[in-house]
A = this chain, B = another copy of it.
Amino acid sequence: MQNIGKKIWAIAEGYIPADDASKARQFVSHETACILNAGAEDAHVEITVYFHDRDPAGPYRVTVGAQRTHHLRFNDLKDPEKIPADTDFSSVFISDQPIVVQHTRLDSRRSDIALLSTMAYPIS
Contact = CB atoms under 8 A, between A and B. Distances in A.
Q: Is the interface of A mostly helix, strand, loop or mixed?
A: strand
Copies in the complex: 4
A77 interface: no
A120 interface: yes
Contacts of A28: none
Interface residues of A, number: 59
Interface string A19-60: 000000010000010111010000000001011110110000
Contacts of A111: 110-112
A70 B86 contact: no
B113 A116 contact: no
A109 interface: yes
